[in-house]
Amino acid sequence: MARAIPDSKEVFDVIVVGSGATGGWAAKELTEAGLRVALVEAGRNLVPEKDFTEHVLPYQVKYRGRSPEIIRTRPIQSRCYACMEYNYEWFVNDHENPYTTPPDKPFNWFRLRILGGRSLVWGRQSYRLSDLDFKAASRDGYGDDWPISYAELAPWYDKVEQFVGISGAAEGMPQLHDSKFLPPMPMTCGEIMLRKAVKEKFGRVVTIGRAAHLTVPLNGRAPCHYCGPCERGCISQSYFNSPSTTIAAARATGRLTLITDAVVSQVTTDLSTGRARGIRYVHRVTRDNRELRGKIVILCAQSLESTRILFNSATRQFPNGLVNSSGVLGHYLMDHVTGFGASGIMPMLETRPWAGPPRRPNGIYLMRFRNVTDRHPNFIRGYGYQGGSHAQFSFEAEGFGKQFKEQVKRGEWGISLGGFGECLARWDNYCELDKTLVDAWGIPALRISASYGENELKMGEDMAVAAAEMLETSGAKNIRLQNIIDPFGHAIHEVGTARMGNDPKKSVLNKYCQAHDVKNLFVMDGSCYVSSACQNPTLTMMAIVCHSCSYVIAQLKKGEI
């Protein structure tokens, strides 16, 4: 079990800020190595028996899923597909947690403050990066290579996947390395038709989504029973979220102290040595200011939040933000390009309620095919698609009684592909502290300035056209293109802002997520990304944490941190 809030004089071996996918892994790896770890979360504790509502029916909630309170208190968070009456209190109150943007550069920042963070509601799509991604700059001349390679990270991908559980199918494609898979979820008839047609005509690969979702028992967790609304929690622990897995493992060691309702304002430093001393935080409810001391501090608060903490930790030595001697902190913000794709119907497939499979918590993935072996004339890098094909029924049909029932049953078999494209790392996409705005706890808020460039727009056009071509090849009809770019942040894949690199003049962190300027301070979340690739980032983030924690443990044994 986790211990209670410590005495203010206690000095932990490690303080980990943030309890989501990365913070949970840091807590697990370090407690299992024998270290005493304080895991600090800005939100409240999680009680699955009360908080998880995946089996609650609409008539059992006050407003039948249409609560006006969500829009009133969470006008930004409500734009997220996962924010709803069943769980909206997990998401931040936007009025208490403000940020600003230029009028012409909207940014959707979706945030949760509860134990587990966004790992409670993520889409669980889990794809490895390859050297096509890590060494992209060497191939096309844009930006910088990562200081790590696929071969270096591969063992840590293995470790994460074997603990988390990734269901999927091996395809043997070099641009998307296979994982250590659990049995795949089955494809629907429409998806099988798409896979066959796309392979035959274009030589491209459509596969079942690679999901952090169990299809067989693993580590005491039950396989998915296909109940459907995963964003509302999972009492059977069938999908990966940190409280049910990594944090539970850390608690089992007896070396974890869990501190919730702790809104971290800054990393404290020893002015005489320049080393991190601990953290300062504000209690979320009482507004008391408190401090916590640790020999090592690890930020896993999420890319923008970790960067905000570093900006607010400025000292005389680092007046523009702690560990910011390079001036790079806050720059190179990235998110995946979305909003482009196509959809249609498959008229050859039966659309009666009994014709479709159960509500599968997964979709399909169409692997990157642009700029893999050839060069596209209009843009660099690439994109992948996520989508699916299933029977759709209209519960807004007209009529009453038997007539209404028949209208509902006469659905159509839909099919869709939505693109996720790489966003180039650009200096002009950045965050900084707002000069006048503070949050409800008096902590300076962020100003975020980011937009997509010409490369992303040309890539998006190609995403839509290529998606339509592939759907048409599969036999789809009434094809509609989607080609309106989503706002920055909408993919919820924001990375960058404290990038890793070998040169301290051009980066904030080294290859182990250790700050160049403060050796006992690490930033182990998406902040460290050098380029965004086009794959969902969480699996790679977790592998990076394991790689970095191995380094921390080794350095401690040598007495070099």
- pLDDT of 357: 66
- Enter the pTM of the model: 0.96
- pLDDT of 8: 63
Question: pLDDT tens, 473-489?
Answer: 999 999 999 999 999 99
Between 409 and 325, residue with greater pLDDT: 325
**pLDDT classification of 33: cutoffs 50, 70, 90:** very high
**pLDDT classification of 409: cutoffs 50, 70, 90:** confident
Ranges 119-123, 234-238, 319-323, 359-363: which has the least confidence = 359-363
- pLDDT of 1: 43
**pLDDT classification of 399: cutoffs 50, 70, 90:** confident
Other beta carbons less than 10 A from residue 396's beta carbon: 7
**pLDDT classification of 356: cutoffs 50, 70, 90:** low
Coil, strand or helix at 555: helix
Question: pLDDT tens, 266-281?
Answer: 999 999 999 999 999 9
* 437-441 contacts at long range (C-beta below 8 A, 24 or more positions apart): 437/98, 437/99, 437/100, 439/96, 439/97, 439/98, 439/263, 440/93, 440/95, 440/96, 440/97, 441/263, 441/265, 441/282, 441/284, 441/287
Instruction: Name the percent of the chain lying above pLDDT 70.
Output: 98
- pLDDT of 77: 98
Of 382, 289, 281, nearest in space to 39 by CA: 281
- Give the whole-angstrom CA distance, residue 323 versus residue 553: 22
Whether the per-residue pLDDT at 235 is higher than 60: the answer is yes
Helix (H) or strand (E) holding 454: helix 454-473
SS (H, E, C) 154-212: HHHHHHHHHHHCEECCCCCECCECCCCEECCCCCCHHHHHHHHHHHHHHCCCEEECCEC
Helix (H) or strand (E) holding 557: helix 538-558
Tokens of 142: 């844009």
**Average pLDDT in the 84-106 region?**
98
Question: pLDDT tens, 34-67?
Answer: 999 999 999 999 999 999 999 999 999 999 888 9
- pLDDT of 157: 98
**Average pLDDT in the 136-157 region?**
98
**Average pLDDT in the 289-317 region?**
98
Question: pLDDT tens, 334-354?
Answer: 999 999 999 999 999 988 766
Q: How long, in residues, is the chain?
A: 561
**Average pLDDT in the 371-379 region?**
97
Whether the per-residue pLDDT at 283 is higher than 90: the answer is yes
Tokens of 474: 């599969």
Whether the per-residue pLDDT at 358 is higher than 80: the answer is no
- Yes or no: say if 464 and 471 are a contact pair by the CB < 8 Å rule: no
Kindly list the strands in the beta sheet with 383-392, ordered across the sheet, starting from the edge strand earlier in the chain: 206-208, 364-366, 383-392, 412-421, 340-345, 477-483
Strands (E), 275-379: 276-283, 289-299, 340-345, 364-366
Listing DSSP states for 89-119 in one string gives GGBPPTTTS--B--TT--B----B-BTTGGG
Whether the per-residue pLDDT at 420 is higher than 80: the answer is yes
**Average pLDDT in the 244-254 region?**
98
The single-letter DSSP state of residue 495 is: B
Instruction: Name the percent of the chain lying above pLDDT 90.
Output: 91
**How does 333-346 read in b/e, with b if 16+ C-beta sit within 10 Å?**
bbbbbbbbbbbbbb
- pLDDT of 179: 97
Of 546, 554, 551, nearest in space to 160 by CA: 546
> Could you tell me the end-to-end alpha-carbon distance of the chain, in angstroms, rounded to an integer?
28
Ranges 348-352, 392-396, 417-421: which has the least confidence = 392-396
Residue type, 332: Y
pLDDT, averaged across the chain: 96
- pLDDT of 413: 93
- Give the whole-angstrom CA distance, residue 322 versus residue 310: 5
Question: 280 φ, ψ to 5°?
Answer: -120, 135
> How far is CA 469 from each of CA 155, 175, 294, 397, 479, rounded to the nearest angstrom?
38, 22, 56, 31, 9
